[in-house]
């Protein structure tokens, strides 16, 4: 069996997990199926219950009710050390007195692997995490990113049914973090390892995940692919939490099959490209991403101009420029345009804005 062999990976079924601390509901009714080999991320703000859910999965904390299965096998009654789960936490907690190879082999020794099997598995993992030459170093002789990859190799070594990672990248500096993100995703794909990853960093979640579970105050807000979460958030919370967004207070209007947003204070309706299935009544937020706001300078103003705005600020970012807009009587918005395109737009200009895409979420 080698690391390309996916047969050890299991689908995970989490059914109606609940957890309270006293009268506080930390997790209410958490249900999720993770496919074998899938990379799923729990994303949400501090205190929303990500680590609590992970601790319940790993067996470090009991749930109040609900079930967890690996394939057909119920595992939520088993103690942590019988669940066949690999864990990686924020502080990688490598054993400082052991070499890289000994750290990776630790779980194999505990499980009674033979010397030969151990050696070949460690070599395989060193190659997988690209640390071939460093088997005999101690953790203190490694960079943060290298230590992090040793921790991942150690968690994968015994071919667990599931690997759980809780904010494993948060101790790395920004540059290294961006690189290790991609490394970690590639390692996970090559190993075909069913993985649940926890972060409060929405970019990290978008970059790494097959699917994201967006959490808010102990509840699942939305489950979807990165594209689904970004393009079609279900709720106002999701629209605000994932990526930059402009939320315009609106009412839902219809004309035949075409649905539009009647933006408060604006003269003309805005065509909606997508609508959250949770929209029931007419009170909505019309959500427009900064990159979907096209801007025409005042010289091109047409009589049918949808929304006229005033440029209040320009923020240079290299490849793009952020353009702050004040829409009279409505709201402020922020657009993001390629620098080349934005150079002919100046602070103080009256401009005509159009929305290339607009999405509606319910307004409660």
Report the interface residues with ligand ATP, using CB under 6 A: 21, 26, 44, 46-52, 200
Which of residues 124 and 167 has its CB atom nearest to Mg ion in the complex? 167
CA-based nearest residue to 232, from 186, 274, 290: 274
What does the DSSP assignment read for 87-147?
A: EE-SS----TTS-HHHHHHHHHHHTT--HHHHHHHHHHHHHHTT-GGGTT--GGGS-HHHH
- Contact 105/122 with Cβ under 8 angstroms? yes
Which of residues 238 and 362 has its CB atom nearest to ligand ATP in the complex? 238
Show the CA angle centred on residue 355, arms to residues 225 and 305, nearest 5°. Answer: 175
CA-based nearest residue to 333, from 267, 273, 286, 282: 286
* Partner in contact with 288, chosen from Mg ion, ligand ATP, none, beta carbon below 5 to 8 Å by kind: none
* Partner in contact with 81, chosen from Mg ion, ligand ATP, none, beta carbon below 5 to 8 Å by kind: none
Q: Of all residues in this chain, which one has the CB nearest to Mg ion in the complex?
A: 51
Q: In whole angstroms, how close is the CB of 46 to ligand ATP at the nearest point?
A: 3
Using N-to-C axis directions, what is the helix angle for 115-128 and 174-191, rounded to 10°?
130
- Contact 38/29 with Cβ under 8 angstroms? no
Instruction: Return d(Cα 129, Cα 140) in angstroms, integer.
Output: 18
* Partner in contact with 95, chosen from ligand ATP, Mg ion, none, beta carbon below 5 to 8 Å by kind: none
* Partner in contact with 47, chosen from Mg ion, ligand ATP, none, beta carbon below 5 to 8 Å by kind: ligand ATP
Show the CA angle centred on residue 349, arms to residues 347 and 354, nearest 5°. Answer: 110
Q: In whole angstroms, how close is the CB of 50 to ligand ATP at the nearest point?
A: 4
Q: In whole angstroms, how close is the CB of 177 to ligand ATP at the nearest point?
A: 16
Q: In whole angstroms, how close is the CB of 300 to Mg ion at the nearest point?
A: 50
Q: Which residues contact 312 (CB under 8 A, 6 or more apart)?
A: 324, 325, 326, 332, 347
For 256, the token pair is 């035949």
DSSP state of 298: G
Question: Judged by CB under 5 A, does residue 52 bind Mg ion?
Answer: no
Number of CB atoms found within 10 A of residue 209's CB = 23
Q: In whole angstroms, how close is the CB of 22 to ligand ATP at the nearest point?
A: 7
Which of these ranges, 17-25, 46-54, 68-76, 214-222, lies near Mg ion under the rule CB under 5 A? 46-54
Which of residues 51 and 194 has its CB atom nearest to Mg ion in the complex? 51
Which of residues 21 and 95 has its CB atom nearest to ligand ATP in the complex? 21
Which of these ranges, 51-59, 111-119, 270-278, 284-292, lies near Mg ion under the rule CB under 5 A? 51-59
Q: In whole angstroms, how close is the CB of 52 to Mg ion at the nearest point?
A: 8
| Binds Mg ion by CB under 5 A, chosen from 3, 10, 51, 188 | 51
Q: In whole angstroms, how close is the CB of 61 to Mg ion at the nearest point?
A: 12
Which of residues 142 and 215 has its CB atom nearest to ligand ATP in the complex? 215
Number of residues that bind Mg ion (CB under 5 A): 1
Q: Which residues bind Mg ion (CB under 5 A)?
A: 51
């Amino acid at each position: 069996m080698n690391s390309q062999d996916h047969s050890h990976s299991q689908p995970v079924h989490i059914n109606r997990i609940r957890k309270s601390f006293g009268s506080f509901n930390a997790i209410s009714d958490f249900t999720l199926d993770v496919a074998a080999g899938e990379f799923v991320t729990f994303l949400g703000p501090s205190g929303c219950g990500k680590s609590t859910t992970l601790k319940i999965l790993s067996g470090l904390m009991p749930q109040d009710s609900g079930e967890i299965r690996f394939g057909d096998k119920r595992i939520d009654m088993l103690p942590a050390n019988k669940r066949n789960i690999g864990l990686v936490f924020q502080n990688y907690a490598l054993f400082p007195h052991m070499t890289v190879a000994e750290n990776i082999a630790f779980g194999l020794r505990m499980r009674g692997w033979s010397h030969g099997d151990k050696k070949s598995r460690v070599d395989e993992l060193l190659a997988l995490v690209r640390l071939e030459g460093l088997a005999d170093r101690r953790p203190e002789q490694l960079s943060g990113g290298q230590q992090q990859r040793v921790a991942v190799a150690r968690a994968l070594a015994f071919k667990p049914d599931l690997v759980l990672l809780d904010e494993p990248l948060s101790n790395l500096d920004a540059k290294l973090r961006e690189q290790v993100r991609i490394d970690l995703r590639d390692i996970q794909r090559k190993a075909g390892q069913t993985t649940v990853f926890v972060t409060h960093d929405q970019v990290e979640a978008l970059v790494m995940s097959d699917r994201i579970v967006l959490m808010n105050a102990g509840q699942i807000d939305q489950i979807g692919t990165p594209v689904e979460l970004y393009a079609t958030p279900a709720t106002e919370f999701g629209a605000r939490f994932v990526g930059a967004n402009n939320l315009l207070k609106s009412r839902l209007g219809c004309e035949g099959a075409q649905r539009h947003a009647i933006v408060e204070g604006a003269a003309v309706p805005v065509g909606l490209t997508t609508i959250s299935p949770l929209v029931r009544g007419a009170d909505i937020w019309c959500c427009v991403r900064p990159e979907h706001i096209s801007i025409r300078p005042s010289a091109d103003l047409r009589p049918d101009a949808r929304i006229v705005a005033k440029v209040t600020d320009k923020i240079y970012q290299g490849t793009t420029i952020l353009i702050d807009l004040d829409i009279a009587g409505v709201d402020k918005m922020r657009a993001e345009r390629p620098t080349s395109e934005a150079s002919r737009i100046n602070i103080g200009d009256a401009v005509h804005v159009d929305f290339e895409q607009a999405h509606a979420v319910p307004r409660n």
